[in-house]
């Protein structure tokens, strides 16, 4: 069995401002750089075969993990949210947000969840076809889409993994989700309060 370690980028400057990003390209915040560096022990003992999204926040996370000069693949970009990029949820209609999160609405000029799923599936298939263990530094939507593809689940049913978290998939004969959204400090929101 091979493993795929999916790393979500650290906090970006727009994450810190609660702005929707999509394929916009803000850099990591200072906290995001610290979060990414704290993930480095998760990579101990794993092969160095890696790929990253070509967006700055993912590339900076890969660099902080010691994965410099790895291939950049735009198929691992976050979902394109069109005209919503740079806006906060408070600026949008709550019904539109609910419809988007449920897969029933794509913002103007945006990619649909089905289009994201197809794009990430192509990127994931390329890694699986190459065989062996891989690390992909990417985005929350990509992690949800990859997990859905491997498990047969619904990407929209997965919660968004925390910034600077690790998700582990076992691929091969019987693919399995081994861990989802692990953070080094264990402080990730669980949904239980």
Active-site amino acid positions: 9, 78
- Contact between 28 and 37 under an 8 Å Cβ cutoff? The reply is no
How many C-beta neighbours within 10 Å does residue 8 have? Answer: 28
Work out the angle between the directed axes of helices 113-130 and 140-151 (0-180°, nearest 10).
70
Neighbours of 74 (CB within 10 A): 11
Residue owning tokens 């370690």: 5
Neighbours of 82 (CB within 10 A): 14
Is the four-CA dihedral 54, 6, 87, 83 of positive or negative sign?
positive
**Burial (0-12, 13-18, 19+ Cβ within 10 Å), 103:** middle
E strands present in 30-109: 50-52
């Amino acid at each position: 069995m091979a493993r795929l370690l999916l790393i979500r980028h650290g906090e970006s400057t727009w994450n810190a401002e609660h702005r929707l990003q999509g394929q916009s390209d803000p850099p990591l915040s200072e906290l995001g750089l610290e979060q990414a560096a704290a993930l480095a022990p998760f990579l101990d003992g794993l092969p160095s075969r890696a790929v990253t999204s070509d967006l700055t926040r993912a590339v900076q996370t890969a660099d902080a993990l010691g994965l410099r000069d790895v291939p950049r693949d735009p198929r691992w970009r976050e979902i394109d949210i069109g005209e919503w990029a740079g806006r906060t949820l408070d600026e949008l209609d709550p019904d539109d947000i609910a419809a988007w999160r449920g897969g029933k609405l794509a913002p103007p000029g945006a990619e649909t969840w089905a289009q994201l799923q197809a794009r990430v599936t192509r990127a994931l298939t390329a890694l699986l076809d190459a065989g062996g263990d891989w690390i992909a530094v990417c985005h929350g939507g990509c992690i949800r889409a990859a997990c859905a593809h491997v498990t047969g689940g619904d990407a929209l049913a997965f919660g968004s993994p925390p910034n600077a978290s690790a998700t582990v998939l076992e691929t091969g004969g019987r693919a399995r989700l081994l861990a989802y959204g692990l953070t080094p400090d264990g402080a990730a929101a669980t949904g239980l309060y």
